[in-house]
């Protein structure tokens, strides 16, 4: 009986394959000599994610990271900074345990803080990269701007105020440059899309209501993301504000800020600073008043008083329309693209007043972004409700007491639909007390989905009418406008043009018919019917033509598709089947929408 000999492996033998390239999370934490919480925070800040190796050496229940990613974290300066902060926090706990409160307070005031400018520069070497990755950043910052403070979840008031300030600064820049493109109100919140330096940025803001903090959310992870996003948005706002010649961070009017009109205060500040920079480019610095030049050399408190004084001089209180109107130079108008020019002129020469029940922050953001002037019911408003120059009043409840005949009372949806359609829609369907038309999403391509709502067709016709284009009216098909006789009767073309168009149309129809006949003959020659082979002409029936049965073209097409599918490789076949399933799912969804529409129309006809 032979004995099986086991080969000896030296303990320091080199690993190969996945065992050498990937390590588990516990091994990574042990190698970095840090806690699991700190490891998660470093991975979020540096953008390092778990990997999925083809062969999991330690088992499927482990999380794997690449060895190079962990080696990259091992030399990270933030790791040493966090270790220093943790050691400092131990000193604070020690002072509190000894009940030395004065020493603990002194330590808390001198607590070191990490700097993220190096992380931002490494992750986003170009400014376009930062704009491309700004969707989640804006959504997170706008979410925390409306959350309540919670000491248990470590959501402090300072963090919420900072998020609110950053979100208002971003919105003020979008308003100033007219970069907003699409708005959609959904159950989750309000979706916005802006186009900044060629990059489309979409973010979601929650509705203005009391937010509930669910228990099944890991807020420590979200706060780590927020810590990165706050610094990223601060750097982006700094770059964007300097691109329009505005100093950053802006100094706000404390009275307006106390009245919860932060966005309006920022718009005033940007207007003032832009006009000041335009004047300084034309005139020398000696043209400024001497008292301002003397105060500029003072402290930061004096500088804030100068800014407020300049704000009052640049924006007089007796011209309320100038408060929200942005400075428009001829050179900047020439540099704007076509979309920006359309957005500037959409609500031009229109003044809006917001009632108490409408979403004020959203409308204060979108109306000035499209060239309108807006005010609200409250302290700090630029003009009152009794102003006779108001053209539209936004109301959401049919409880308006005193009405002015010089303005129109519409629902807030009219503003959003006008922005998405880029035209001023008729207000009859949006009057207060009526059920408004369906609020269509501008992010959905109706033609690609296969179902175009009726109101989308109506908006398309209104857009064509605004551009002086001719489109078929309701109940008239496209073939009616293609018919030269109809065009001749309507007076669009002359008699000679109608004859030439009829000849061209007849020629195209003949060519199309000939092409279909040739295709049909080719299919019959490739797949002759078995019944047609058996049928022969009898000598008696030479004069009567015998009709050959038509081949089933649909069956031939299906057979060809099945044959091509069988000849495909496995990967392409799976992709093809997924595409077919997606198309079938889309067709079933369109069918349900049409059935629902038919049921609604039937119910309406029964009521009438």
Instruction: Report d(CA 82, CA 569) in Å as an integer.
Output: 52
Residues lower than pLDDT 50 in the chain: 1, 5-8, 10, 281-334, 470-481, 492, 529-550
- Residue 177 in 3-state DSSP? helix
- Domain membership of residue 139 as a residue range: 120-276
What local confidence, expressed as pLDDT, does residue 412 receive?
93
Q: Is residue 393 one of the residues assigned to a domain?
A: yes
Task: Using the 3D structure, point to which of 467, 487, 516 is the last residue of a domain.
Answer: 467
CA-to-CA separations, 113 to 79, 149, 264, 540, in angstroms, rounded: 12, 21, 32, 107
Instruction: Report d(CA 191, CA 184) in Å as an integer.
Output: 5
Mention every residue, 6+ apart, whose C-beta is less than 8 A from residue 498. 484, 485, 487, 488
Instruction: Report d(CA 366, CA 267) in Å as an integer.
Output: 12
Please state the domain count of the chain. Answer: 4
The strand ranges marked E within 21-156 are 22-24, 64-66
Residues 168 and 77 in one domain: no
Q: Are 229 and 140 in contact (CB under 8 A)?
A: yes
Residues 155 and 232 in one domain: yes
What local confidence, expressed as pLDDT, does residue 271 receive?
62
Q: Is residue 303 one of the residues assigned to a domain?
A: no
What local confidence, expressed as pLDDT, does residue 597 receive?
82
Query: For the chain, what is the mean pLDDT?
Result: 77
Q: Is residue 318 one of the residues assigned to a domain?
A: no
CB atoms under 10 Å from CB of 188, counted, come to 10
Q: Is residue 441 one of the residues assigned to a domain?
A: yes
Q: Is residue 517 one of the residues assigned to a domain?
A: no
Q: Which two tokens stand for residue 530?
A: 């078995």
Task: Using the 3D structure, point to which of 244, 276, 308 is the last residue of a domain.
Answer: 276
Q: Is residue 357 one of the residues assigned to a domain?
A: yes
Task: Using the 3D structure, point to which of 410, 443, 467 is the last residue of a domain.
Answer: 467
Nearest CA to 25 among 54, 57, 53, 66?
66
- Residue 80 in 3-state DSSP? helix
CB atoms under 10 Å from CB of 557, counted, come to 11
What local confidence, expressed as pLDDT, does residue 402 receive?
75
What local confidence, expressed as pLDDT, does residue 301 receive?
47
Residues 89 and 23 in one domain: yes
What local confidence, expressed as pLDDT, does residue 488 receive?
53
């Amino acid at each position: 009986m032979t004995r099986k000999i086991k080969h000896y492996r030296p303990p320091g033998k080199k690993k190969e394959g996945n065992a050498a390239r990937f390590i588990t999370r516990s091994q990574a934490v042990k190698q970095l000599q840090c806690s699991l919480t700190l490891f998660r925070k470093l991975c979020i800040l540096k953008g390092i994610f778990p990997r999925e190796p083809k062969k999991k050496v330690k088992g499927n229940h482990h999380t794997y990271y690449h060895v190079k990613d962990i080696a990259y974290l091992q030399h990270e300066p933030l790791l040493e900074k966090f270790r220093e902060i943790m050691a400092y926090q131990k000193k604070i706990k020690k002072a509190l345990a000894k009940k030395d409160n004065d020493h603990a307070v002194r330590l808390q005031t001198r607590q070191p803080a990490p700097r993220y400018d190096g992380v931002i520069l490494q992750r986003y070497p170009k400014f376009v990269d930062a704009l491309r990755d700004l969707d989640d950043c804006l959504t997170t910052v706008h979410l925390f701007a409306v959350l309540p403070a919670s000491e248990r979840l470590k959501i402090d008031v300072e963090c919420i105020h900072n998020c609110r300030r950053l979100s208002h600064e971003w919105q003020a820049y979008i308003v100033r440059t007219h970069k907003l493109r699409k708005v959609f109100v959904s159950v989750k919140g309000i979706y916005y899309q802006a186009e900044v330096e060629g990059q489309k940025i979409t973010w979601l803001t929650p509705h203005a209501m009391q937010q509930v903090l669910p228990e099944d959310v890991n807020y420590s992870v979200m706060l780590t993301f927020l810590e990165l996003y706050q610094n990223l948005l601060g750097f982006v706002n700094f770059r964007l504000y300097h691109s329009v010649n505005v100093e950053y961070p802006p100094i706000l009017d404390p009275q307006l800020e106390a009245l919860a009109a932060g966005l309006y205060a920022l718009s005033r500040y940007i207007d003032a600073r832009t006009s000041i920079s335009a004047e300084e480019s034309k005139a020398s610095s000696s043209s400024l008043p001497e008292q301002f030049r003397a105060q500029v050399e003072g402290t930061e408190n004096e500088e804030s008083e100068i800014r407020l004084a300049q704000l009052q001089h640049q924006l007089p209180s007796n011209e309320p329309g100038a408060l929200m109107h942005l400075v428009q130079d001829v050179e900047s108008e020439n540099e704007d693209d076509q979309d920006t020019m359309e957005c500037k002129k959409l609500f031009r020469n229109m003044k809006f007043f917001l009632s108490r029940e409408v979403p004020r922050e959203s409308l204060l953001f979108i109306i000035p972004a499209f060239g309108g002037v807006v005010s609200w019911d409250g302290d700090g408003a630029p003009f009152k409700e009794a102003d006779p120059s108001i053209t539209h009043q936004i109301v959401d409840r049919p409880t308006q007491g005193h009405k002015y005949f010089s303005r129109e009372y519409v629902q807030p949806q009219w503003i959003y639909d006008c922005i998405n359609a880029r035209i001023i829609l008729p207000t009859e369907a949006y009057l207060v007390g009526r059920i408004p038309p369906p609020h269509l999403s501008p992010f959905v391509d109706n033609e690609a989905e296969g179902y175009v709502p009726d109101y989308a067709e109506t908006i398309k016709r209104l857009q064509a009418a605004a551009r002086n284009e001719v489109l078929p009216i309701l109940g008239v098909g496209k073939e009616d406008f293609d018919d030269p006789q109809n065009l001749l009767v309507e007076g669009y073309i002359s008699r000679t043009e109608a004859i030439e168009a009829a000849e061209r149309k007849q020629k195209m129809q003949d060519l199309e018919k000939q092409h279909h006949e040739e295709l049909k003959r080719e299919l019959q020659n490739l797949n002759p019917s078995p019944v047609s082979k058996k049928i022969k002409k009898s000598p008696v029936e030479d004069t009567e033509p015998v009709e050959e049965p038509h081949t089933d073209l649909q069956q031939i097409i299906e057979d060809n598709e099945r044959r091509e599918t069988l000849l495909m490789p496995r990967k392409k076949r799976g992709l093809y089947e997924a595409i077919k399933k997606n198309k079938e799912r889309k067709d079933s969804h369109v069918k349900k929408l049409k059935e629902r529409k038919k049921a609604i129309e039937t119910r309406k006809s029964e009521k009438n």
